[in-house]
Amino acid sequence: MDIKHVKDYIYWLYYQYLLITCSYVLEPWERSMFHTITVTVFAMVVYTAYVFVPIHIRLAFEFFSQLFGGQPESRV
């Protein structure tokens, strides 16, 4: 793929995003506020998943390993 096709594809994806979120009908200042809030919420979800999901997976693994007869860890 050359650069022109990649650029056109990115523009197409952005246009699809505008259509799906119906933000193409917003005024420019409203659109910038909408994008800011959307990016902020997405960043918070990604950060929360990055921080807390591994902890919950580890705790679930420990719980199920003890539940199904795994050896308990020594608490020395």
Each residue of 19-73: pLDDT tens digit?
Answer: 999 998 999 999 999 999 999 999 999 999 999 999 999 999 999 988 887 666 6
pTM over cut 0.75 = no
Is 55 contained in some domain?
yes
Burial class (CB in 10 A: 0-12, 13-18, 19+), 13: exposed
Domain that holds residue 47: 3-68
Is 75 contained in some domain?
no
Long-range contacts of residues 19-25, Cβ cutoff 8 Å, at least 24 apart: none
> How far is the C-alpha of 63 from the C-alpha of 69, rounded, in Å?
10
Is 52 contained in some domain?
yes
> 31 CB contacts (<8 Å, ≥6 apart)?
23
Is 74 contained in some domain?
no
Question: What six digits make up the tokens of 37?
Answer: 């809030």
Number of domains in the chain: 1
For 22-32, how does the pLDDT look when each residue is reduced to its tens digit (9 = 90+)?
Answer: 998 999 999 99
Is 76 contained in some domain?
no
Is 26 contained in some domain?
yes
